[in-house]
């Protein structure tokens, strides 16, 4: 049963406030006369009976006028304290005024001694506030005791402002399913201290705290976490079957606040994310400010990410080129809403159509090109080699040739780690596109290539697939238990592309430090745990076998023997085999095979152009033996 005053009628609260005021008056009297009770003083009170009635009447009138009895005292706030100060202060001021009027114009006697009126103010203010906070504390404790059995015991990761707001939000919500046991924080100096009465533990002791305090959930309440430290904490939680939740970004808070319903399961991207990249923003700004920039594949994950990064550098115009009209429309709406001052133009078109691209270059005359348009799905391109050469090679050739004709300053090609020692048609097609771009070393346009691995959350990546499979109840499908991949977030990849653009002098192939590789099966298991499910009980993991052209392990691009370091620790320059002088003629011949639609002939010539292309788990493996 809750504290009874939580549902008490307002008139009872009103009478309690008046009673506390009378007690305050009596206390003030005793303090004024140093607790010495004499017969003459009893006579004083007998003679002052009318004054006391007037005191009570004034309190009743003022308390009623300010309606201090109407608030929910179990939810007393700072605003309530201010209102009480004004109310009690007003009654005290009124008594002092009546004192003056009576002594000056009636019988020279005060209504009540002024010293007693002033002392009564301080005593009554303290008692009435104390009464309300006593009810509030008792109510909260009563609610917590009643609901403790049904609540989940949580730790808040982050003993900062966001963590404190999170705790307050949970405690204010009577329907909240959480009971805050304490904070954990990376700052060891905060260990065993308290934040508004709640203990702070060291994140180094996370596993011990989980076990001794029987923690069910961890709420991450850090707006800008250190990802390396966060990974350790989150891995410990998943290891001990503790669910991990996250407070939303402060940008999504409503009027600077949020509700417990906004606390959601943490995303797998946050487990794989890395600390922020520090860019040479001034150099990028100088390079791209007030420029006309073309982004091909602008509606895709990387293309749209580059577009959103470009907003920060105030280009004159950004041309958003893609053939996916629905995705372009969605991007247009997002940019209009989030960046109303951003100047961009939408172009629907296919990079493989030279006439359409020529019209685009002639009309807009771009200064910079970021070429992200490409077919990227390995199994699909393995089944459709002609489309891989048509889009990835012919499309790139069209943009490269037009960039030279229209004297574009820099052409940045977005490639892939699958172009390194390719084992599939897609990777080989991207390598050939790289070769064609790099073969124009004497052109006025500077051609720069960037390579990186899988991008978290990008279209067609494994994470959206796993999420969908989990939502459908499984099974989660992986091709092989041994498969590993490198991962990078979309913003991180796009930031590094812009950095590579600013530092490139032409002819370089920049490769990005992708960090440590991740086992796909471990990724699947973590996603299952993050969803609150149990592998083998709630959902299964099914091994389907390697797909055509798929590698078990991606090439490690950051090896000392095949890269050269740059000023940026996450960007290196690849050492690649120099192409023959007749390479352009070979690529022209390869493109001409599109019309014949003979996959064997197409792939055979691709292998001639890229000798390191060795098919894996593919129908084209036989061509390697010829």
Residue positions annotated with a catalytic role: 418
3-state secondary structure (DSSP) of residue 483: coil
Q: Is-cis flag, bond preceding 207, omega within 30?
A: no
Contact 436, 401 (CB under 8 A): no
Which residues, including other chains, have CB under 8 Å from residue 276's CB and lie 6 or more apart? Answer: 224
The span from the CA of 211 to the CA of 167, in Å, is 21
The span from the CA of 581 to the CA of 532, in Å, is 58
Please report how many Cα atoms fall inside a 13 Å half-sphere around the Cα of residue 309, on the Cβ side: 25
Strands (E), 422-508: 446-451, 454-456, 476-478, 484-485, 487-489
DSSP 8-state class, residue 196: T
Residue 607 in tokens:
């292998």
The span from the CA of 590 to the CA of 565, in Å, is 34
What is the residue-wise DSSP string for 501-558? Answer: HHH--SS-EEEE---S-EEHHHHHHHHHHHTT--BTTTB-EEE--PPTT--SB---TT
From the list 177, 286, 188, 179, the residue with the least C-alpha distance to 229 is 188
CB-neighbour burial class of residue 65 (10 A; exposed 0-12, middle 13-18, buried 19+):
exposed
Strands (E), 116-257: 152-157, 178-185, 194-195, 198-202, 217-220, 243-246
From the list 284, 337, 336, the residue with the least C-alpha distance to 315 is 284
From the list 5, 319, 260, 228, the residue with the least C-alpha distance to 136 is 5
DSSP 8-state class, residue 553: B
* Residue linked to tokens 């797998």: 268
Contact 600, 581 (CB under 8 A): no
* Residue linked to tokens 């700072």: 78
The span from the CA of 155 to the CA of 192, in Å, is 14
The span from the CA of 491 to the CA of 258, in Å, is 26
């Amino acid at each position: 049963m809750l504290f009874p005053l939580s549902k008490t009628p307002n008139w009872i609260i009103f009478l309690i406030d008046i009673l506390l005021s009378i007690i305050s008056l009596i206390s003030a009297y005793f303090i004024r006369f140093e607790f010495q009770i004499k017969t003459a003083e009893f006579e004083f009170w007998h003679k002052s009976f009318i004054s006391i009635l007037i005191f009570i009447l004034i309190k009743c009138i003022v308390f009623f006028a300010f309606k201090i009895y109407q608030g929910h005292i179990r939810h007393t706030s700072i605003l309530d304290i201010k209102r009480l100060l004004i109310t009690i202060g007003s009654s005290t001021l009124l008594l002092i005024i009546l004192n003056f009027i009576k002594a000056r114009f009636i019988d020279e006697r005060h209504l009540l001694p002024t010293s007693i009126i002033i002392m009564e103010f301080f005593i009554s203010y303290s008692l009435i506030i104390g009464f309300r906070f006593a009810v509030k504390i008792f109510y909260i404790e009563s609610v917590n005791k009643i609901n403790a059995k049904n609540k989940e015991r949580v730790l808040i990761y982050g003993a900062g402002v966001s963590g404190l707001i999170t705790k307050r939000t949970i405690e204010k919500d009577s329907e909240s399913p959480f009971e805050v046991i304490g904070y954990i924080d990376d700052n060891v100096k905060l260990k065993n201290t308290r934040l508004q009465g709640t203990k702070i533990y060291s994140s180094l002791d996370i596993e011990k705290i989980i076990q001794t305090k029987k923690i069910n959930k961890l709420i991450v309440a850090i707006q800008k976490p250190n990802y390396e430290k966060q990974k350790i904490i989150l891995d410990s939680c998943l290891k001990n079957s503790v669910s991990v939740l996250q407070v939303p970004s402060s940008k999504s808070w409503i009027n600077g606040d949020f509700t417990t319903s906004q606390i959601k399961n943490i995303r797998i991207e946050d487990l794989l994310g890395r600390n922020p990249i520090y860019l040479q923003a001034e150099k990028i700004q100088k390079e791209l400010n007030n420029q006309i920039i073309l982004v091909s594949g602008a509606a895709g994950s990387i293309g749209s990410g580059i577009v959103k990064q470009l907003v920060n550098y105030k280009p004159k115009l950004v041309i958003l080129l893609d053939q996916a009209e629905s995705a372009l429309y969605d991007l247009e709406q997002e940019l209009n809403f989030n960046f109303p001052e951003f100047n961009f133009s939408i172009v629907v078109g296919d990079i493989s159509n030279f006439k359409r691209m020529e019209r685009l270059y002639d009309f807009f005359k771009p200064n910079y090109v970021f070429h992200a348009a490409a077919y990227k799905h390995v199994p699909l391109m393995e089944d459709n080699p002609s489309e891989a050469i048509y889009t990835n090679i012919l499309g790139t050739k069209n943009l490269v040739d037009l960039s030279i004709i229209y004297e574009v300053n820099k052409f940045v090609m977005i490639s892939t780690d699958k172009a390194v020692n390719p084992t599939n048609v897609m990777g080989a097609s991207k390598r050939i596109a790289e070769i064609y771009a790099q073969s124009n070393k004497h052109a006025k346009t500077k051609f720069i290539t960037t390579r990186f691995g899988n991008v978290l959350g990008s279209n067609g990546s494994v994470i959206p697939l796993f999420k969908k499979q989990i939502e459908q109840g499984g099974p989660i499908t992986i091709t092989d238990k041994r498969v590993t991949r490198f991962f990078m977030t979309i913003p991180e990849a796009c930031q590094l592309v812009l950095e590579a653009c600013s530092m490139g002098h032409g002819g370089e192939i920049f490769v990005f430090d992708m960090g440590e590789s991740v086992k796909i099966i471990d990724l699947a298991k973590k996603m299952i745990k993050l969803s609150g499910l149990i592998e083998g009980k709630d959902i299964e993991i099914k091994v389907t076998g390697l797909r055509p052209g798929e590698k078990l392990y991606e090439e490690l691009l950051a090896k000392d023997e095949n890269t050269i370091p740059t000023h940026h620790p996450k960007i290196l320059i690849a050492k690649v085999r120099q192409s023959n002088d007749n390479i352009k003629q070979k690529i022209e011949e390869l493109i001409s095979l599109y019309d014949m639609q003979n996959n064997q002939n197409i792939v055979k010539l691709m292998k001639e152009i890229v000798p390191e292309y060795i098919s894996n788990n593919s129908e084209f493996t036989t061509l390697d033996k010829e």
